[in-house]
Structure 1
């Protein structure tokens, strides 16, 4: 697997986890469950998934796409 493939695979994995956590949180919201152990679990999961996603996006080790031109 190339560096670009690794990057894309990791991005897909992190995004899928964040999407799942956010969906679960939205489900609880639609059920008016804003407290309790399930809310705490899902809230923590969503927070940590978001932190992993933003850390990944802020890394400086993006694969080189070969396109260095900047268009106006």
Structure 2
């Protein structure tokens, strides 16, 4: 698997989690449930998912587009 594949795999996992958290938050907003324990849980989840995504991107652990490193 290449470094690019590793990056894409982990990025996909993080994006799926962030998308799920954001979707749950939007469902609560649509239901006018903007307070209470469920709102707190979902907003915390969404915040943490976003922070994990940004941390991953800012680590610059992904390869340079010109690299073709293959781990054998």
TM-score by length of 2: 0.86
Shift of 1:29: 0.2
Shift of 1:2: 1.7
Structure 2, unmatched stretches of 5+, are 68-72
Root-mean-square deviation (Å): 1.2
4+ residue runs of structure 1 moved beyond 4 angstroms?
none
Shift of 1:59: 1.1
Higher relative contact order (CA 8 A, sep 6+): 2
CA distances 1:24-56 after superposition (whole Å, capped 9, x unpaired): 000000000011111011000000000000111
TM-score by length of 1: 0.86
Match of 1:54 in 2: 54
Aligned length: 67
1:41 equivalent to 2:45? Answer: no
